[in-house]
Amino acid sequence: MKGPETLMEFMEMYKTEEDCRRALFEHRWPAGFRCPRCGHDRSYAHKKRPLFQCVACRHQSSATAGTIFEGTRTDLKKWFLAIYLLAQTKKPISSAELSRQLGVAPFTAWSMRRKITRAMARKEGELMLAGVVEMDEAYVGGASKGKRGRGASGKTPVAVMARQNESGGCSLAHIQVTHDISGLSLGDAATSHVTPGSIVATDGWPAYGKLGRLGFDHQPLVMEGVENPAELLPWVHITVSNLKRWILDVFHGVSAKHLRSYLDEFCYRYNRRRQRTDLFRRILNRCVLYAEPVTYTQLTAC
């Protein structure tokens, strides 16, 4: 089924709680009900509550159990509208604006936004980079104007990897918070985002020397004679400047504590910038299938 492309279509499709619940059911069990405990495919519908009881093992489940919507006291209609606004607006909506648009408390809006963007986080092995990949490290966030580049104070180190495509552009990019910019941390970042055997181009930072031993075709580029270091690795620099501009524009800065969540959202959007159709249904699908319920403590821990 096609997703809504306009607000009018959205309002027609999800008029009631029941419409939203049906949509969650369809995402969770596209081929019909399947008991999460025993795999049986028949259930009784509970008369008063939106529950399905397995005919074989009597386990009760619902379309929201095990998803970010589990136990929510907020209407599903509001959740759906939040996902729609996050998916369809070119400039992503902030939680303060979400609070105003949905008529929910600021903390509720913040928590909803965080849970939805958590579902945007890249899964292990998803969108691996291959071919020619630029890699660099950068420092993001922090209010202090410490020295720039390696060792900047008050900022969080991130590893940036961008795949060059055949026409000289950039198709995909990933940015990950790293503990530091040691060979171990940068090697871990490369291993989890880049397919072994790929060409990985970096600057001459010695920590990248480890990449060859990790199965990559490491190509350190020489800075000599190059006035602007951004020329050596253009796409990682463009990605990082886009990220910094986006953070300022949408959030007016971020704290180190929440940086990972903002990076996940930025990369999700960046990597789908040319295929924006049906983003609502794609994000809804991730909320149902790929994001587990999270507590407040888990949300604020990263």
Question: What is the side-by-side strand order in the sheet with 132-140?
Answer: 170-177, 156-164, 132-140, 199-202, 217-220
Size, binding site for Zn ion by CB under 5 A: 8
8-16, 43-51, 54-62, 74-82 -> range binding Zn ion (CB under 5 A): 54-62
Q: Which DSSP symbol is given to 222?
A: P
Our CB check for Zn ion shows the closer of 52 and 266 to be: 52
Told to check if 190 binds Zn ion by CB under 5 A, we report no
Region from 47-55, 101-109, 264-272, 288-296 binding Zn ion, contact rule CB under 5 A = 47-55
Residue 172, Cβ neighbours under 10 Å: how many? 20
Nearer to Zn ion, 57 or 256 (CB): 57
The secondary element (H helix, E strand) that includes residue 181 is: none
Nearer to Zn ion, 52 or 84 (CB): 52
42 or 148: CB nearest Zn ion: 42
For Zn ion, which stretch binds (CB under 5 A), given 41-49, 53-61, 87-95, 155-163?
A: 53-61
Q: Is 135 exposed, middle or buried (0-12, 13-18, 19+ CB in 10 A)?
A: buried
Q: How far is the CB of 32 from Zn ion (least distance, A)?
A: 14
Q: Which stretch binds Zn ion (CB under 5 A): 3-11, 12-20, 56-64, 273-281?
A: 56-64
Closest separation in Å from C-beta 291 to Zn ion: 23
For residue 254 the two structure tokens come to 């971020």
Q: Closer CB to Zn ion, residue 43 or residue 156?
A: 43
- Distances from the Cα of 287 to the Cαs of 67, 79, 95, 148, 201, in angstroms? 6, 11, 18, 38, 35
Q: Which of 27, 59, 258, 282 binds Zn ion (CB under 5 A)?
A: 59
Stretch of 49-57, 152-160, 189-197, 293-301 lying at the interface with Zn ion (CB under 5 A): 49-57
Query: Are 173 and 233 contacting, i.e. CB atoms less than 8 angstroms apart?
Result: no
Nearer to Zn ion, 38 or 301 (CB): 38
The Cα 142–Cα 57 span in angstroms is 53
- Dihedral sign from CA coordinates of 193, 136, 171, 269: positive
The DSSP element (H or E) to which 60 belongs, if any, is strand 60-61
Kindly state the smallest distance separating residue 55's Cβ from Zn ion, in Å.
Answer: 8
Among residues 7, 11, 57, 105, the one that binds Zn ion under rule CB under 5 A:
57
Residues 6+ apart with CB under 8 A from 86: 92, 93, 98, 113, 116, 117, 283
Closest approach of Zn ion to the CB of residue 57, in Å:
3
The span from the CA of 297 to the CA of 237, in Å, is: 34
Range 17-46, binding Zn ion (CB under 5 A): 35, 37-38, 40
Name the site residues for Zn ion (rule: CB under 5 A).
Answer: 35, 37-38, 40, 54, 56-57, 59
